[in-house]
Amino acid sequence: MVGRSRDEKNRHSSSIPPSLVPASKRRAPNGTGENSNRPSIQMRLVVSRDMVHYCFDILISHLRRTDLPRSKHPKFTNDAYPLFVTWKTGKEYRLRGCIGTFSALRLHDGLREYSLSSALRDSRFRPISLDEVNNLHCSVSLLTNFESDKNYLDWEVGVHGIRIEFHNERGHRKSATYLPEVASEQGWTRNEAIDSLVKKAGYYKTITEDFRKTIKLTRYRSEKIVLSYDEYCADNDVS
């Protein structure tokens, strides 16, 4: 699942949250590294149910052609993160749209933009309509802990998301990503996930071991939360 190239244009933020810094380089509050003998302190998650509520609010307001009420304006943090918004439908959790960006965006504007882009402008699917909303599941993923220049096998299924870059037979640069949950949901090995991602990026020739070794891989983690429309309604006393 990957946003189109225009979704990855450079955008600037005045600050980068600590969770974007690789774990090995973070500093504990007392100034020591995380490898200190002191007991580790679990970092508080940034992602929240309110972020998914906001995505539902934005989509429903757009489909109803109404303004977002002031009471629905976001109250969660407006720090900047790379992010993805994913829509699925039904008991089968069938994908209906997933678009995001690797540029760190302020969350209020970023979630507003990508809740609509993923629902309405994912070229793989027809736009989501109002009569589908009550069957939807929405997930927000905030991407963290980026580590680049890795071997194509230097990542763990179910733990890391991966972004690959390579050049095709014409010398054109190609890239694609899978979020951390994709490979485990599909039951893939690391090789199978890489080969699938190469094809997703638009490479259709035979994938050899020599070709795999040319791949530049960035691994990352994510904070993710998923809510169904029914959960959204229950949280917001919507009948």
Where exactly are the structural domains of the chain? 47-144+223-235, 145-221
pTM for the structure as a whole:
0.80
Tokens of 21: 């810094």
Amino acid type, 145? N
Please give the pLDDT value at position 43. 63
Please give the pLDDT value at position 110. 98
Please give the pLDDT value at position 19. 41
Q: Which CATH superfamily is domain 145-221 in?
A: Hypothetical protein ph0010; domain 2 (3.30.1490.150)
Q: Do 51 and 110 form a contact (C-beta atoms < 8 A)?
A: no
Q: Which CATH superfamily is domain 47-144+223-235 in?
A: Hypothetical protein ph0010; domain 1 (3.30.700.20)
- Give me the residues of the chain with pLDDT under 50, please: 1-41
Mind listing the pLDDT tens digit for each residue in 138-176? 999 999 999 999 999 999 999 999 999 999 888 899 999
